[in-house]
Structure 1
Amino acid sequence: MSSTAALDLDLVNQSTMRVQLIQNYQPVQRLNEFRLFYQPPNDNNFYHVTFKMILQLSENYNDDYDYEFFYQSLDASYYVTCKLLPRPLIIKILNKEIYEIDFDTNDLKHKHTLTWNQKLNLELNLKQVLPFLQEKILKSDPSNTSIDQILNTQQDYEFKLFYQPLDDFNIYNVTCKLTLQDYNQNGDIDYDYEFFCRIPNDIINTRHVTCKFLNPSLIINILNKKVYGIDFDVNDLKCNFTLTLQQKLNLELNLIYDFFS
């Protein structure tokens, strides 16, 4: 076989392979835009992240973010913006979404200056998890029934809220219930610390206060489920944690001062 004939045969084979690849190609489903709450590794802060597919060049983007970057995959390009959410604001968002406790939404517009390390860490980690996040969102059930059944049960609570005490970096889910004469603590012991207290203007009734520690990943999961319908294993809400004596004392003293004094 001449070299020319061999070259022609090779070109035909390559063309046939390309046709087969095109015929077998199944396009990956992509979201044009999605949002989520996120905490990257090696960073104690929470962020709200927006991904927008770049369909065409446009300057019609708002500047409500603290860092921006571009992400290029094999079949799509994204414009990504990240906004830092301080813990007090995270607590306000949680209380609004779960317990309908209002707050000043202007707090959401505050800007923050990120360090070089924060920006780099955010960008590197988000680029790694973007495909996984898209797949998780596409497979999620937008219903909030499961999480509402656990966090927002309709019982005779005096109040339920998310709370961060002074001198503690952690966030807790706190419930307070009046211990009436027929008070009976039913169900699982789904908390990490409890105490009883009375308030000065009500010497008859005693309050039973329970506190549940929420780790950062669980806070992110709760927000993403409640706001954006992104699924997670709700059994994580039932995990118990061991608090230190200092945490317990600090929780009790601050809660009494803030709500019962």
Structure 2
Amino acid sequence: MTHSAVRFYALEVDAPDPASLEARVRAAEAAGYAFVTFPDDPLRGGIEAGVRAAFLARRTTRIGLAPTLHATTTEPFHLATQLASLDHASLGRAGWVVGATSDPAALATVGRAEVDPAEVGDVVDVARRLWDSWEDDAIIRDVPTGRFLDPARVHHVHFESPRFSIVGPLITTRPPQGQVVVIGSPALGITDRLDVLVVEPGAHVERGDALVFAAVPAGFDVSTLDGAADGVLIRDDGGELAPVPAPSTAATLRQALGLARPANRFAAARSTA
């Protein structure tokens, strides 16, 4: 691996069994990678990516864990809950690679026949609202009064789209990061909703506020990117992982990527009311 001005390194891991998966992710953590991603397909069988990430939450200590969860085949409330739970289990290291399969056979697994192009954005929007549905200080544990939480700081989201409606709130408290790191391709058409944008090398995209990662094969000379990307997402080939420059020692994935912890939208609205 030839290094350049690229700041962040991530690895796409698709090991075939739990033991080899754990070994590979721990090797990436030791090498200083910022996060790992886990590809998934509703038709592939085996252990779902979100479960693989949860399995690793307590078997790793620093590296970010970003499963692919498909907005088109996963119920939005359960998707948001699963990712919030992963963030709690990993103490703030969860990411979400937004999947959007439109394969007819995959859609048929959940009784669907087609996809509305706008629905992926709707799922991301409602997930972000649900992650904010508990304010950071909603749990008060006031023993003298017997009050565990302040209900004024737990909110219904009242989100409606053509495909679903969700009242909320989430059944877990706000994720440690405030918002899970959302990762995706420009092909999704939701660049403005992403924290990390994954592109092909040389692609020109309107990045907005997102970090840009180039998706590259193992052994790719990252110096050829010439500063065009903030990071690289390397497709794992099972080979030796060389240490990356300046690995982060940050506690959360957001901190490792230099992303601010977002303010809670409901707390902000309440403070200005």
- Structure number with higher relative contact order (C-alpha < 8 Å, ≥ 6 residues apart): 2
Q: If each structure's strand is expressed as a fraction of its own residues, which one has the higher value? A: 1
TM-score (norm 2): 0.19
TM-score (norm 1): 0.19
Q: If you compute each CA radius of gyration, which structure gives the higher value, 1 or 2?
A: 1
